[in-house]
Structures are given as structure tokens and as C-alpha cells.
Amino acid sequence: MAALVQQEDKLAMSSDELLEAQLELYHHGLAFVKSLALKAAIDLGIPDAIHSRGGGGATLSELVADIGIHPTKLPNLRRLMRVLTTSGVFSVSGSGDAACYKLTRVSRLLVSGGLSPMVVGFLYPQYVAALSDMREWFTDERATAMSLFEVANGRTLWEMAASDPTTGTALQAAMDADSRFTVKNLLTDCGASVLSAVRGSLVDVGGGRRRKCLPTSQVQRAGSPSRRRFCSGP
């Protein structure tokens, strides 16, 4: 009994510690808000709207006009942008109506032609639904040989992509965006050293488009201005 009391004393926390623990707990519980705020920014076209104004950034009023939402939504947009600036997706200078939002190195990747489709893919409703069913996946013996996605949706990701055009298109767009970005930077920064032993050509199949990359004999020259387009294809 004495040992149990001693153990409880060690676990006891001060009021400040309890409040700090509560804050940390709520941060974990509400972490999904940052992800969904990021998806909302992509869906609304906020990265493209800021990018279209060059290096000067955009105020909330300018964003409201550029992304086509009703002016009465400006207070809600301000709250959304507060989440996104706090998490480092955008930067902000000034305050109030004069606050000016700019792209960071993260949000530059979300401009059209970048990684937006991949981020949207991470937050596709069927993926989120699957994560909500973790308890069933762990406890239901019938789910032993099934993936988490299959338990939640009744079929595998690839089966769903084959039968549902919306899911298939989103999946292809996500893989294509990731492959474009990864292959381009792989060949730019370390192509000569990493791929020097490869003979023939490289074919990137991400996104199902089979983009043919530069012959590996040209990888060393891939950094020259005339060789910056690494993949070609339909």
C-alpha cells in the first residue's frame, strides 16, 4: 500500500503541469484541423491566387476577390489563414485588413503543377474513413488478412480506383505529381552519381503514364539549361 501511495505521489502533477498536459492533449486531438485547413486552401486555390500576384503577396480582400468567395466569408477566411500561417504553410506581415500573405517554401510546392494532388490524395475521404476504423481493424479477427483501407471501404484501394472514376483520377493525379517532382529532383541533384551504372533509359510509371525519362547516358548533362525537361510522354 505504501509503495502504491509513493508511486501515485511521483505521478502527481502541479496545476501548471496539468494545464500544460491538457493543452498538449488538445493539440493532439485537434491536429487534423491543420491537415483539413491545408486541403481547404488547395481546394480554394489560395496558393495559385497568391502566386499570381508575384512576390508582393495578397491581402484578405484580394484573396476573397481572386478565389471567388462572397465578401461575407472574409472573417472565416481570416481564421483559415491564421491556422495556415501558424503552421508555416503561408507567411504574413502586417495585421488587420492590411495583413499581407505570402508563399513559403512549403506553399510554393502547392502552386499548380506541384504537389497539390498528392496532398489532396493524403486527405481523400476514403483514407480518412479508414483511419477512423483502426479499432475494428485491430480487434476483428476477420480483418487479419485485410488492409485498414479494405476493412473501412469493403475493397482494396486499387479495386476502388478501377471501379470508381473519381477515386481513380485522384489516385493517378497524386502519383503523377509525386513522380514528376521526385524524378526531376533526383536527376537534377544526384543523377550522375546514383544512376551512372544504369544502362538504357528510365521509365517513370507513377501515375500510370509511363513517362520516358532521359537516356542515362545523358544524365550527367541533365543539369544544363537545355536538359531540364527530364521526362516526356503522353
Confidence at residue 204, expressed as pLDDT on a 0 to 100 scale: 56
Q: What are the backbone angles phi and psi of residue 195, rounded to the nearest 5°?
A: -105, 10
Domain limits of the chain?
Answer: 32-110, 116-232
Phi-psi group of 96: left, alpha or beta (phi > 0 → left; psi -120 to 50 → alpha; rest → beta)? left
Confidence at residue 143, expressed as pLDDT on a 0 to 100 scale: 73
Each residue's pLDDT tens digit in the chain (234 positions)? 555 445 555 568 888 999 999 999 999 999 999 999 999 999 999 999 999 988 789 999 999 999 999 999 999 999 999 999 999 999 999 888 889 999 999 999 999 989 999 999 889 888 888 888 888 888 887 777 888 888 888 888 889 989 989 888 888 888 888 888 887 777 776 655 666 666 656 665 555 555 545 444 444 444 433 333 344 444
Same topology, domains 32-110 and 116-232? Answer is: no
Confidence at residue 38, expressed as pLDDT on a 0 to 100 scale: 96
Q: Which fold has domain 32-110?
A: Arc Repressor Mutant, subunit A (1.10.10)
Q: Angle CA(73)–CA(81)–CA(60) in degrees, nearest 5?
A: 55
Q: What are the backbone angles phi and psi of residue 144, rounded to the nearest 5°?
A: -55, -45
User: What is the CATH architecture of 116-232?
Assistant: 3-Layer(aba) Sandwich (3.40)
Euclidean distance between CA atoms 115 and 119, whole angstroms:
7
The answer, as to whether pTM is greater than 0.95, is: no
Question: In the chain, count of helices (H) and strands (E)?
Answer: 12, 6
Euclidean distance between CA atoms 234 and 215, whole angstroms:
17
Cell of 90: 503561408
At 93 the three-state DSSP class reads: strand
Confidence at residue 145, expressed as pLDDT on a 0 to 100 scale: 81
Residue 195 vs residues 132, 183, 186: alpha-carbon distances, Å:
41, 12, 10
Annotate 114-130 with b (16+ C-beta within 10 A) or e (fewer).
bbbbbbbbebbeeeeeb
